[in-house]
Amino acid sequence: MRDAVTTLIKNYDVAGRYFDRNAIDSLKSYFESGTARVQAAAAINSNAAAIVKQAGSKLFEELPELIRPGGNAYTTRRYAACLRDMDYYLRYATYALVAGNTNVLDERVLQGLRETYNSLGVPIGPTVRGVQIMKDIVKEQVAAAGVANAAFVDEPFDHITRELSEQDV
């Protein structure tokens, strides 16, 4: 599992080089956004259950067929599994936000996920939509918590979306 700093060190160490201008710039930008990243994580943590619940309601409102007979989230067990997955995405996205790097998502969440989803008939498109809805809610919460320049919030959610969609061929 890597963060913005260890990733940079690894790349420069492989080449046996000192940090150059680019490396210093990316270190600066990581540390300058550090407090905001931690504030964003705190805002998410204190509202996580509500964020997941709200995102789930919105998703099922948009795509009610998911929770009707024949839908993948139909039955209490599968409904709960769906919200639990959303909670995983939120928690690991928060780790990635703090790390300034999406490696934790690749290693702990996305690896093998497509195969699992395909074998269980979990639809990728609606899952991606759920992640995007959650991103929008998180951005509102983070802004409401007074975090300025919180553009970095998009990154982990968009990474999940991109990876899930690209693999769904």
Ligand X SMILES: CCC1=C(C)/C(=C/C2=NC(=C\c3[nH]c(/C=C4\NC(=O)[C@H](C)[C@H]4CC)c(C)c3CCC(=O)O)/C(CCC(=O)O)=C2C)NC1=O
CB of 86 to ligand X, least distance (A): 5
Min separation Cβ 139 and ligand X, Å: 19
Binding site for ligand X (CB under 6 A): 66, 72-73, 78, 81-82, 85-86, 88, 108-109, 113, 116, 120, 122-123, 126-127, 130
Q: How many CA atoms lie within 13 A of 10 on its CB side?
A: 7
The radius of gyration of the chain from alpha carbons, rounded to an integer in Å, stands at 18
- Closer residue to ligand X, CB minimum distance, 23 or 63: 63
**Structure tokens given for 15:** 């080449």
Provide the residue type at 67 as one letter.
Answer: I
Whether the CB-CB separation of 137 and 152 falls below 8 Å is answered with no
Q: Which is nearer to ligand X, 127 or 161 (CB)?
A: 127
User: What φ, ψ does residue 53 adopt, rounded to 5°?
Assistant: -60, -45
Residues in the chain: 169
Residue 140: CB minimum distance to ligand X, A: 19
Please identify the residue of the shown chain whose CB is closest to the bound ligand X. Answer: 82
CB 115, min distance to ligand X, A: 10
Per the structure block, which two tokens stand in for 47?
A: 């509202």
Nearer to ligand X, 30 or 89 (CB): 89
